[in-house]
Structure 1
Amino acid sequence: MARYTGPKCRLCRREGAKLFLKGDRCFTDKCAYERRPYAPGQHGRIRKKMSDYAVQLREKQKARRVYGILEEQFRSYFAEADRQKGVTGANLLINLERRMDNVIYRMGFANSRDQARQMVRHGLFLLNGRRVSIPSIQVRVGDVVEVREKNRQVPVIQEAQQVIARRGCPSWVEVDGAAFKGKVNAMPTREDIQLAVNEQLIVELYSK
Structure 2
Amino acid sequence: MKLFLKGTRCDTAKCAFERRDTPPGQQPARRGKVTDYAVHLREKQKVKHYYGVLERQFRRYFNRAESSKGNTGDTLMVLLERRLDNVVHRLGFGLSRAQARQWVCHGHVTVNGRRVDIPSYEVRAGDVVRIKNRAKSLDAVRASQSENHREVPDFLAVTESLIPEGIVGRLPGPEDVSVPVQTQLIVELCSR
TM-score by length of 2: 0.90
1:42 aligned partner? 24
Q: Higher helix fraction: Structure 1 or Structure 2?
A: 1
Deviation at 1:142, TM superposition (A): 0.0
For the residues of structure 2 that align with 1:55 and 1:129, how far apart are their CA atoms? Answer: 43
**Which of the pair has more CA radius of gyration?**
2
Matching of residue 105 in structure 1 with residue 127 in structure 2:
no
Count of residue pairs the alignment pairs up: 188
Deviation at 1:21, TM superposition (A): 0.4
8 A Cα contact 1:63 1:197, kept in partner: yes
8 A Cα contact 1:38 1:45, kept in partner: no
1:174 aligned partner? 157
Deviation at 1:80, TM superposition (A): 0.5
8 A Cα contact 2:85 2:101, kept in partner: yes
8 A Cα contact 1:21 1:66, kept in partner: yes
Given residue 87 of structure 2, which amino acid in structure 1 is its aligned partner? V
2:76 aligned partner? 92
Matching of residue 123 in structure 1 with residue 112 in structure 2:
no
Gaps of 5+ in 2: none
For the residues of structure 1 that align with 2:47 and 2:153, how far apart are their CA atoms? Answer: 18
For the residues of structure 2 that align with 1:103 and 1:145, how far apart are their CA atoms? Answer: 8
For the residues of structure 1 that align with 2:20 and 2:133, how far apart are their CA atoms? Answer: 44
Given residue 172 of structure 1, which amino acid in structure 2 is its aligned partner? F
TM-score by length of 1: 0.84
- Residue in structure 1 matching 2:138, options 126, 131, 153: 153
8 A Cα contact 1:22 1:112, kept in partner: yes
- Residue in structure 2 matching 1:142, options 126, 140, 162: 126
For the residues of structure 2 that align with 1:123 and 1:61, how far apart are their CA atoms? Answer: 29
Which string of whole-angstrom CA distances, capped at 9 and with x for unpartnered residues, describes residues 94-129 of structure 1? 000000000000000100111111111100011000
8 A Cα contact 1:145 1:182, kept in partner: yes
Deviation at 1:24, TM superposition (A): 1.2
Question: SS of the residue aligned with 2:13?
Answer: coil
Percent of residue pairs identical: 48
Gaps of 5+ in 1: 1-16
